[in-house]
Structure 1
Amino acid sequence: MQHVIWIMWPAFIAAGIAETIFFTMIDPRQLYLFGNLVEWSPTATYSTGFLLFWLVCIGSSLMTYFMMPRGVKDVLTKAAGEREDLARPKRREPAGGGR
C-alpha cells in the first residue's frame, strides 16, 4: 500500500499545481477540443482537467518508480517499515525500563 501512496500522492500534488497554472491562463468557457467548443460547465471542465493531469502525473511517478535502482527501493521499504507513518517516528521506551 505504501508504494501506491508513494506514486499517487506526489502525482496528486503535481496535478493540482498543473491545473492551477493551466486554468489561471485558460478560461474553461473558451476551451476548444478538436476544433469544437467544449460546452461543459466550468466545474466539469476543472474536474476533468484535474483527472487528466493526475493521470499524466501518475504515469510520470510510475516511470520514476520503475526506473529506480532495486537498492533504493529496498532502503525506502525498510525505512517505511520502521515507521507507522512517514511524518513521525515511533516512540521508543526510555533506557532502563519504565519508571
Structure 2
Amino acid sequence: MTMRDHRVHWFGAILWPSFFAAGVATMVFFAVVDPLDLATITWPRIAFSRELGYSIGFFMFWLCTASASLFTALLLRPPARNGRQP
C-alpha cells in the first residue's frame, strides 16, 4: 500500500462513519426541533429556510462527528519508531 493509498484509506475511515453518524443525528434532532424555530431563537433578524437550517445542522453534526472520529484515529495510530511515524 502506497502512502497515498494509506492517506485515502485513513480519510475514508474518518469521513464515512462521521457522515453516517451526522445523518442519523440530523434526523433524530430535527424530528424534535424545527429549524425555523431554532433560527428564530438564534438569529432573529436573519431569514432562513428550513432547507438551509437542515443543511447547517447536518454540517455542524458532521464537523462534530468527524472531529471525534479524527481524535479516535489519532489515538489508534501505532507508536512512533525511531522518532518517525509509520
Equivalent residue number for residue 60 of structure 2: 52
Once structures 1 and 2 are overlaid, which stretch shifts more, 62-71 or 3-12? 62-71
Rounded to whole Å, the distance in 2 between the matches of 1:39 and 1:22 is 21
Aligned length: 69
Task: Provide structure 1 residue ranges, at least 5 long, that are not aligned to the other structure.
Answer: 72-99
Following TM superposition, the consecutive aligned residue runs of length 4 or more in structure 1 with deviations greater than 6 angstroms are none
Q: Which of the pair is proportionally richer in helix? A: 2
Q: TM-score, normalised by structure 1?
A: 0.65
Counterpart among 3, 21, 26 of residue 14 in structure 1:
21
Q: Pairwise mapping of residues 55-70 of structure 1 onto structure 2 (< 5 A)?
A: 55-70=63-78
Q: Percent identity?
A: 35
Task: Provide structure 2 residue ranges, at least 5 long, that are not aligned to the other structure.
Answer: 1-7, 80-86
Rounded to whole Å, the distance in 2 between the matches of 1:53 and 1:65 is 18
Q: TM-score, normalised by structure 2?
A: 0.74
Larger Rg: 1
- Alpha-carbon RMSD across the aligned residues, in angstroms, is 1.5
Counterpart among 18, 24, 34 of residue 31 in structure 2:
24
Higher relative contact order, structure no. (Cα contacts within 8 Å, ≥ 6 residues apart): 2
Q: Which of the pair is proportionally richer in strand? A: 1
Equivalent residue number for residue 41 of structure 1: 49
